[in-house]
Amino acid sequence: MSSRTVDATAPADIKELQNQLEVAEREAGALVAGLSEEQGTGRTEAGSWSVAECLDHLATANRVYLGAMQEPAHRARKHGRFRSRPARPGFVGRLFVSSLEPPPVWWSRLKAPRKIRPRTGPPLAEAFASFVASQADVYAFLSANADLDLAAVRFPNPFVRGIWFSLATGLHVITAHERRHLWQGWGVRRAIEHADRQGSTAPR
């Protein structure tokens, strides 16, 4: 697991984001702990995602979001757009972030964009390692750019043309999205473990 620790000298809003990333990584570790490959790649019903696919989806989504955020952050540094306010979303950004929090409400149950849909049946260990690597990338981006005006610098939404978010919103989107699909993963794990227990006690 990660050896990163929250930077005690960072502003409170940055520490909050760092802590959310740390919590998500620990939660993912607990999610996969003790699972067999069969359990980790099993689905509860046709068309649903396995635990491994939930993690693979998160790893891919994190990379796509960071890819859209890197160049605006680079330009902001080049033009001296340094921190002047906390790294928190504005009103619209908060609404979008809240729509990603678990459990999902009916109007936020949208199908994942094609570019971040998980691979079909990725190995559990590989999916988990990919998620942890993506966490390191998000953490590195946050640490490297904490001195920028993250609440003001904007980047294009990688999924909806014409929509722009602040870098602060993007970071909060990442952490809320992680909580959503880790919650989903726990639901899958509990259902599969329940089915396994039922099977083990069924008459033979």
Does residue 1 fall inside a structural domain? no
pTM for this structure?
Answer: 0.91
Measure the CA–CA gap between 147 and 81, rounded to whole angstroms.
9
Tell me the pLDDT of the chain (204 aa) as tens digits: 454 666 778 899 999 999 999 999 999 999 999 999 999 999 998 889 999 999 999 999 999 999 999 999 999 999 999 999 999 999 999 999 999 999 877 545 667 778 888 999 999 999 999 999 999 999 999 999 999 999 999 999 998 889 999 999 999 999 999 999 999 999 999 999 999 888 753 332
Measure the CA–CA gap between 45 and 28, rounded to whole angstroms.
22
Does residue 188 fall inside a structural domain? yes
Does residue 90 fall inside a structural domain? yes
Measure the CA–CA gap between 171 and 147, rounded to whole angstroms.
14
Does residue 153 fall inside a structural domain? yes
CATH code of the domain covering residue 26: 1.20.120.450
